[in-house]
């Protein structure tokens, strides 16, 4: 095999010979020095081309989070992707909104459930008020519209038969608990 820089100085060594300028006397290692060659200090270790091992310190291995070494050559399962918390946050916010709508819609009257007066109960209350509080005699049938909201300030008229006449009585809601006021017949 040739070097991209050309042959080493002194050419390539033949089999069984040492390269020139190695600092070893001719004759090889373990043989006495030949006359005329002064002993030289041993040269630094040199590496020669093909077939000789090169000793290198292994590269440090870095540990990944989780205590595992990276797979050699990039093979193995792909790393797990961290899942986003966004779907959980949006789901939680959706649950809170739905719960708020249900609470405001069913528990607090006004959105889905509207508190209304029972027409029959209001009719009996109007009759008792006209007889007891106003002292009117001859109070007959009372007819009030159904579905009237229990809402402060709401007003509606009931028809009352007093004697042979039909008169109108205004009912005004005073509290959200269903307390109402019965006006004078007109």
Domain boundaries, the chain: 119-182
Give all strands of the β-sheet with 165-173 in edge-to-edge order. Answer: 139-143, 155-162, 165-173, 180-182
Residue 101 has what pLDDT?
77
Contact 116, 147 (CB under 8 A): yes
**What's the rounded mean pLDDT across residues 176-185?**
90
Q: Which pLDDT tens digit goes with each residue over 151-167?
A: 899 999 999 999 889 99
Q: State the Cα angle at 37 between 33 and 42, rounded to 5°.
A: 75
Catalogue the long-range contacts made by 150-158 (C-beta closer than 8 Å, 24 or more residues apart).
Answer: 150/109, 150/115, 150/116, 150/117, 150/176, 150/177, 150/178, 151/115, 151/176, 152/176, 158/122, 158/123, 158/126
**CA-closest candidate to residue 167, choices 142, 149, 133:** 142
Rounded to the nearest 5°, which phi and psi values hold at 143? -130, 115
pTM for this entry = 0.42
- Do residues 24 and 18 lie in contact, with contact meaning Cβ atoms separated by under 8 Å? yes
Report the share of the chain in percent with pLDDT over 70. Answer: 53
Q: What is the pLDDT of residues 53-62, one digit of tens each?
A: 555 666 655 5
Name the pairing type of β-strands 180-182 and 139-143: unpaired
Instruction: Give residue 124's pLDDT.
Output: 93
> Residue 134 in contact with residue 126, Cβ under 8 Å?
no
Higher pLDDT, 39 or 142: 142
Q: pLDDT digit string (tens) for 61-119?
A: 555 555 555 555 566 677 777 778 888 888 889 999 888 877 776 666 556 667 888 99
- Average of pLDDT values for 121-148? 91
CA–CA separation, 127 vs 137, rounded Å?
11
pLDDT digits (tens, 9 = 90+) for 7-47: 667 666 666 555 555 555 555 555 555 555 555 565 566 55
């Amino acid at each position: 095999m040739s070097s991209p820089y050309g042959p080493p100085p002194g050419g390539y060594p033949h089999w069984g010979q040492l390269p020139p300028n190695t600092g070893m006397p001719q004759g090889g290692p373990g043989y006495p020095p030949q006359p005329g060659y002064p002993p030289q200090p041993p040269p630094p270790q040199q590496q020669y081309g093909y077939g000789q091992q090169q000793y290198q310190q292994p590269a440090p291995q870095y540990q990944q989070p989780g205590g595992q070494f990276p797979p050699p050559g990039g093979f193995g399962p792909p790393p797990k992707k961290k899942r986003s918390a966004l779907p959980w946050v949006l789901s939680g916010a959706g649950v809170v909104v739905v719960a708020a709508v249900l609470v405001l819609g069913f528990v607090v009257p006004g959105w889905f459930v509207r508190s209304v007066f029972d027409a029959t109960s209001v009719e009996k209350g109007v009759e008792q008020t006209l007889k007891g509080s106003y002292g009117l005699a001859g109070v007959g049938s009372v007819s009030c519209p159904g579905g009237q909201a229990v809402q402060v300030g709401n007003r509606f008229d009931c028809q009352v038969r007093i004697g042979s006449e039909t008169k109108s009585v205004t009912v005004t809601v005073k509290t959200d608990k269903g307390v109402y006021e019965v006006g004078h017949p007109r």
